[in-house]
Every structure is written in C-alpha cells, then in structure tokens.
Structure 1
Amino acid sequence: MSLDATVWAWKTRQKQKVGGALKPLKKLVLLSLADRAGETHECYPSIARLVEDTEMDRKTVLKIIDELIEDGFIIDTGKREGKTKQVKVYLLIGVKGRETVPTTVHFDVGNDDLNSTNNGTVPTTEQFQQFHERVPTIPLNSPNVGTRNLSKNLSIESKNKKTWLSLKKLGEEIRLATDQETYEQIKNATWFDRELRAFELYNAEKNLCDELMNYHFADWLINACGKYQAREQVAFRNSGSQVRCSPSAPHQLSDKQIHTFAQKLSQHSEFASQFAAAGESYDQLAARIAVKLSDPFQAKQWEPYLKQVGFKGTLQGAA
C-alpha cells in the first residue's frame, strides 16, 4: 500500500450529485484504490477485488469509478494489467509525497465546514512537524512503499511465478487432504506445469481469490496424481501384448468424464445428500468427487449413480 495515497484519499472531499452515489461510498472506493497504489500512484485492482473490499455490488462500484473519474480524482491511464491484460490501470490525481506539503485538496462546494480556517490552507511548520511525529517518514525507495504493486518487494517464489500460486500453501492443502507419499509424488511430478496450465484455463473466468485457487488446485493435483497412476498401471498390464478393447468392454473414466460427472453428481440431490459435507459448496463437492472418481474402485462403487446422470457402459473397477 501507499501511505501517501491513503492520507490523500482521507483528505479529499467528495461531491454529492443529484442521482449520484453517496459521498461516504465514493470515499470508500477511493480509499480501496489508494490502498493498492504503488510509488507512481497507479493501481489496478480488479472490480471483483473492489467489490470484496467495499462490500458493495458490482454495479455500484462501476458507477462510483465513473464519478471519481468525472470529479478528477482518478484517470484511466489506458494501460491494462492482470493475467488477462484487461484490468484497467488508474492514476490517482493529486497525491504527493511527504517531502512536500500538499497545498490543495478537492472540496465539496456544499460542505458545511467551508468557513473553517483549516480548510484549503497549508499547515504551519509546527503542525507539519507534529504530522511527521505521528506518521514516520518512509523514503520513496523504501521496500515498504507500494508493496501491493511492486514485484521487487515480493518473495523470491512470488517473483518467479507472478501468479496466485503459493507453493507453501499448496503443500499444506495437499498434506491435509492426502498422505505424505502422494504429496511427494505430486511435488516431483513432471506433469505439474501441464496441470497448472489446465487449471488456470479452467478457472480463468471465475474470479476466485488466491486462497480458494490454492485450495481447489490441491484437489485438482490429487485427482491428477490418481489419473496418471491409473495410466501407468494400465500401461504396465498391457506391456508386451497388443490388446484392443471393443466399445462395449469394461473401461475406466477419462479425464473429461471425471470432471463432467463430478459436476453432475454434485448437483444430484440423492447423491449430494449422502456425501456432501456441512457448509460445502457445489464446486468443493465436485472437486472431492473428481478425486474419488479417479480411483477405479471408488468409481465402480458409484456406477449406479453415474448411470443416473448419463454414464453409458460398464466400469472395470480396480485391478
């Protein structure tokens, strides 16, 4: 965050327009933008992030952004950031470092306190010194300025990946859900990057927070581990022989079938009532089901439910 930008945002006076957003709501959005500003006073939080910060609905946030631009507090720089390169970059107008004393702030012409001697005036030397005693000065080249947007202040792990992924958090989630042996297999797997790309594509439009992304990716990897293990077992059993199965022969679920039927079973009222955990969302249940379906033995046990949601054929079960 940028302390300069936050102090500036607190000092602004919002304009109340006929049919416009309330002044406190406008200041709240501006504070959220300032909280994510870097040393150049630019910020690029997503609309979903602003909605989460302010607890307003998306339509209200978008309306307030337009009003802040119209009032001259922010401008759209034309630059775009984020994984999709579609998140707008805004510049906060009027923010100055603590090396200089701000001489002007935006005032609401309808403010009842305009007659106060403290409005729109430059602080005295004594007041300015007292201000610095309360708020320690942080140099612009300090690693604590603009930590939300400066990659140089991130950990080595974050600088290398520049994504939501936290290997430490991911490892904790995997070990909570499975055993140490499976965790070691996943950690050293050659297919890790491939599954990471597939997971990011699958969740590109869901706007999940970083914590949920790591949570669901852990389930995704456990499922993938079972999938690759099953392939290795099939390849080992068929090694040295050329066996072709007829379409009606017993088989295992493909990756696509696992994810498709996991989603369908999570919505199946009878199945969900038996296997869903308390407070569990449909997506969380579907992720757990997908992990189970990658196990041939478990998939065979659930075959009657699978047939109810559209599965055709017969599963071979465990070897």
Structure 2
Amino acid sequence: MSLDATIWAWKTRQKQKAGGALKPLKKLVLLSLADRAGETHECYPSIARLVDDTEMDRKTVLKIIDELIEDGFIIDTGKREGKTKQVKVYLLIGVKGRETVPTTVHFDTGNDDLNSTNNGTVPTTEQFQQFHERVPTIPLNSPNVGTRNLPKNLSEESKNKKTWLSLKKLGEEIRLATDQETYEQIKNATWFDRELRAFELYNAEKNLCDELMHYHFADWLINACGKYQAREQAKIQNSTTRILVPQGESNQLSDKQIHTFAQKLSQHPEFASRFAAAGESYDQLAARIAVKLSDPVQAKQWESFLKQVGFKGSLQGAA
C-alpha cells in the first residue's frame, strides 16, 4: 500500500467523456489501483480483485481502465505477474514522493466547478507536514507491514484472488455441469493440485479471462475424475479376479476412447435430446458423459449409441 499514491489518486480530477464512464466511478477504480501500489508506484491487482473492491461489473472495470490509460493516469508497463503470468502491471503516472509537496493535478477542462476557490489548491508545506504527522506509523518488524503483498498473511481464498483461481466459482461451475456426488469426489481428491499444475501449464500461453479459466478447469476436473475412477475400478477388478474376455470384446473403454466418444455423443442428436440438461453446453454434456462412460455398466447400456459414433468393439459391462 502506498500512501503517496492514495493521496495522489484523491487529488486527481477525472474527465467526463461522451459515452464514457462517470467520473466518480473512474476515481473509485483509480483509488483501488493506488491502494495496491508499491514503492515504485506499480500495481497488479487482478480484474476480479478490482470488481470485488468497486462492486462494479467486469465490463465496466475494463472500460474504465482503458479510459484511465487514455487520460494519462496509468500505463500498461507490459509486465505480467501472477502464477500464470497473465495479470497486467500498471504504473501510476504523476505520483510524487512523500517528501515532495504535490504541485500539479489533472483537471477536467469541461468541469463546471473550475471557478471554485477550492479547485486545484495546493496545501502549504506546513499543512502537508501536519497531515503526515497524523498518519500512524507501523514498525518495520510488524507482521502487518506489506500485508497486501504477503501471501502468508492471507487466507487460502485470499491467496487465490491474486491469481485467476477462486474455489467458490470453481465449485459453482462443477455443480452446474455434474451431480453433487462428483463434486464431492473432486473437492476431496488428492490429485487436485496435480491437475491444477497440468491445467495451468497447458493454458500458460493462452490469454483467457478468469471466467473462461474456471469454465474450462471445471470440465478438465470432471474428465480427470472419470479417469481416476476408471483406474481405481481397474485395480479392484485386477486384485479380485481376472476375467477372460472373448476376442473382440473389452471390459471397459480406455481413457482416450472415453474422451473421444463423450465428445461425439454430446453432439449426437438423438442421444443429446434424451440426456442433455436444460441450458447445458456441448462441453458440459461431454464432461458429464465422460464420467458415466468410466462405469462399465453405464457404458454397456449406451453401447448402441457408441456403435453409432464409431465404436467397433463389444463391451461386457460389469463382471
């Protein structure tokens, strides 16, 4: 947190443009950025964090950031932070050091209050020093110093706010795409962190917004759940008894087959009309089908549909 940046943000005068955002809303976003600026006057809160701070929608926040850049209050440094290196780093333009009395502010030439006696006035050196004398200081060894930049002082959910991941939003996406039982399995899975690393590596070069990251990660986890369930079932079957399978038949579909046929069945007109939920997308239906196909009994029940989309073998179902 930078007091210099916050003081500067309060003293700015925003410009009202035709079709643009309201001046109070622009100042609110600028104050949120300043509140997270460091000593170099750079900040990199995520869009989700700004939305949470200002209680505006994402589209409005993005529009205001563009206007602040156009007005010369901030610039995009080109640097990226965060675990996935997708969070933009902005530099606040015009912030003065605490030892310097600010002498200039940005004015709106179209403002009707330009003739006010209080508009653009600069505090005297004595007033400025008295102001800072009233600001409480924090010892450098205090655990509260730099709390906005120290993950160890934050809860798990707050840590995630520094990147794209929100466990609450992810849970909502998973429950929209599948049943409560599958959600509980994913939530308590030991392989969650492993799949998270794989997903972030896979999407590292893609410029996806937070909403799309949660959407695709939910499908990724549902498919992963089906994969791990299939492995566990195979281990149980192999540990109890070996089942002889006639030539041309197989106990269950492979992971690759499950993924392939789930995608095909989700777009099969007759199948989709019978099993798709209202408002469900193709990807959500495919993810739900993949979980079901990992069960040999369910796969056997759908064998006729599987053959229609290219399956050549014969499934035995459960032993």
**Against the structure 1 CA distance between its residues 258 and 153, is the aligned structure 2 distance closer, same or farther, given a 3 Å change threshold?**
same
1:147-196 CA-to-partner distances (Å, cap 9, x unmatched) read 66543432378769986567799899999999999999878866454333
Q: Mean alpha-carbon deviation: is it higher for 218-227 or for 58-67?
A: 58-67
**Against the structure 1 CA distance between its residues 155 and 315, is the aligned structure 2 distance closer, same or farther, given a 3 Å change threshold?**
same
Q: Is the 8 A contact 1:46 1:87 kept in 2?
A: yes
Q: Mean alpha-carbon deviation: is it higher for 62-71 or for 196-205?
A: 62-71
Q: Is the 8 A contact 1:37 1:149 kept in 2?
A: no
Q: Is the 8 A contact 1:10 1:31 kept in 2?
A: yes
1:262-283 CA-to-partner distances (Å, cap 9, x unmatched) read 3343344443343333444444
Partners in 2 of 1:41 and 1:246 — Cα distance?
A: 71
Partners in 2 of 1:88 and 1:308 — Cα distance?
A: 48
Q: Mean alpha-carbon deviation: is it higher for 102-111 or for 32-41?
A: 32-41
**Against the structure 1 CA distance between its residues 277 and 138, is the aligned structure 2 distance closer, same or farther, given a 3 Å change threshold?**
farther
1:201-231 CA-to-partner distances (Å, cap 9, x unmatched) read 4555777777986787677556545533433
**Against the structure 1 CA distance between its residues 191 and 150, is the aligned structure 2 distance closer, same or farther, given a 3 Å change threshold?**
closer
Partners in 1 of 2:61 and 2:290 — Cα distance?
A: 36
Q: Is the 8 A contact 1:296 1:318 kept in 2?
A: yes
The answer for the alignment partner of 2:147 in structure 1 is 147
Partners in 2 of 1:19 and 1:184 — Cα distance?
A: 47
**Against the structure 1 CA distance between its residues 160 and 147, is the aligned structure 2 distance closer, same or farther, given a 3 Å change threshold?**
same
Q: Mean alpha-carbon deviation: is it higher for 89-98 or for 73-82?
A: 89-98
Partners in 1 of 2:20 and 2:146 — Cα distance?
A: 31
Q: Is the 8 A contact 1:266 1:272 kept in 2?
A: yes
Q: Is the 8 A contact 1:33 1:43 kept in 2?
A: yes
Q: Mean alpha-carbon deviation: is it higher for 75-84 or for 143-152?
A: 143-152
Structure 1: 5+ residue stretches without partners: none
**Against the structure 1 CA distance between its residues 99 and 140, is the aligned structure 2 distance closer, same or farther, given a 3 Å change threshold?**
farther
**Against the structure 1 CA distance between its residues 282 and 34, is the aligned structure 2 distance closer, same or farther, given a 3 Å change threshold?**
farther
The normalised TM-score by structure 1 is 0.63
> What is the CA RMSD across the aligned residues, in angstroms?
5.9
Q: Mean alpha-carbon deviation: is it higher for 270-279 or for 92-101?
A: 92-101
Partners in 1 of 2:179 and 2:158 — Cα distance?
A: 26
Q: Is the 8 A contact 1:38 1:149 kept in 2?
A: no
Give secondary structure in 2 for the equivalent of 1:239.
helix
Q: Mean alpha-carbon deviation: is it higher for 166-175 or for 21-30?
A: 166-175
The answer for the alignment partner of 2:245 in structure 1 is 245
Superposed displacement of residue 301, structure 1 = 1.8
Q: Is the 8 A contact 2:300 2:317 kept in 1?
A: yes
**Against the structure 1 CA distance between its residues 166 and 62, is the aligned structure 2 distance closer, same or farther, given a 3 Å change threshold?**
closer
Give secondary structure in 2 for the equivalent of 1:111.
coil
1:226-253 CA-to-partner distances (Å, cap 9, x unmatched) read 5334334435655799999798332422
Q: Is the 8 A contact 1:45 1:87 kept in 2?
A: yes
Partners in 1 of 2:279 and 2:176 — Cα distance?
A: 18
Superposed displacement of residue 198, structure 1 = 3.0
Q: Is the 8 A contact 1:103 1:120 kept in 2?
A: no
**Against the structure 1 CA distance between its residues 80 and 224, is the aligned structure 2 distance closer, same or farther, given a 3 Å change threshold?**
closer
Q: Mean alpha-carbon deviation: is it higher for 118-127 or for 171-180?
A: 171-180
**Against the structure 1 CA distance between its residues 253 and 137, is the aligned structure 2 distance closer, same or farther, given a 3 Å change threshold?**
farther
Q: Is the 8 A contact 2:45 2:162 kept in 1?
A: no
**Against the structure 1 CA distance between its residues 318 and 76, is the aligned structure 2 distance closer, same or farther, given a 3 Å change threshold?**
same
Superposed displacement of residue 296, structure 1 = 1.7
**Against the structure 1 CA distance between its residues 112 and 269, is the aligned structure 2 distance closer, same or farther, given a 3 Å change threshold?**
farther
Q: Mean alpha-carbon deviation: is it higher for 232-241 or for 286-295?
A: 232-241
1:266-307 CA-to-partner distances (Å, cap 9, x unmatched) read 344443343333444444333322222222212222233333
Partners in 2 of 1:233 and 1:87 — Cα distance?
A: 41
Q: Is the 8 A contact 1:300 1:316 kept in 2?
A: yes
Partners in 2 of 1:33 and 1:210 — Cα distance?
A: 19
Q: Mean alpha-carbon deviation: is it higher for 249-258 or for 215-224?
A: 215-224
Superposed displacement of residue 74, structure 1 = 1.6
Q: Is the 8 A contact 1:199 1:217 kept in 2?
A: yes
Partners in 2 of 1:74 and 1:169 — Cα distance?
A: 30
Superposed displacement of residue 143, structure 1 = 7.1
Partners in 2 of 1:277 and 1:3 — Cα distance?
A: 52
| Paired residues, number | 319
**Against the structure 1 CA distance between its residues 141 and 217, is the aligned structure 2 distance closer, same or farther, given a 3 Å change threshold?**
farther
Give secondary structure in 2 for the equivalent of 1:96.
coil
Give secondary structure in 1 for the equivalent of 2:250.
coil
**Against the structure 1 CA distance between its residues 260 and 144, is the aligned structure 2 distance closer, same or farther, given a 3 Å change threshold?**
farther
Give secondary structure in 2 for the equivalent of 1:288.
helix
**Against the structure 1 CA distance between its residues 216 and 77, is the aligned structure 2 distance closer, same or farther, given a 3 Å change threshold?**
closer
Report percent identity of matched pairs.
91
Q: Is the 8 A contact 1:186 1:222 kept in 2?
A: yes
**Against the structure 1 CA distance between its residues 136 and 302, is the aligned structure 2 distance closer, same or farther, given a 3 Å change threshold?**
farther
Q: Is the 8 A contact 1:43 1:149 kept in 2?
A: no
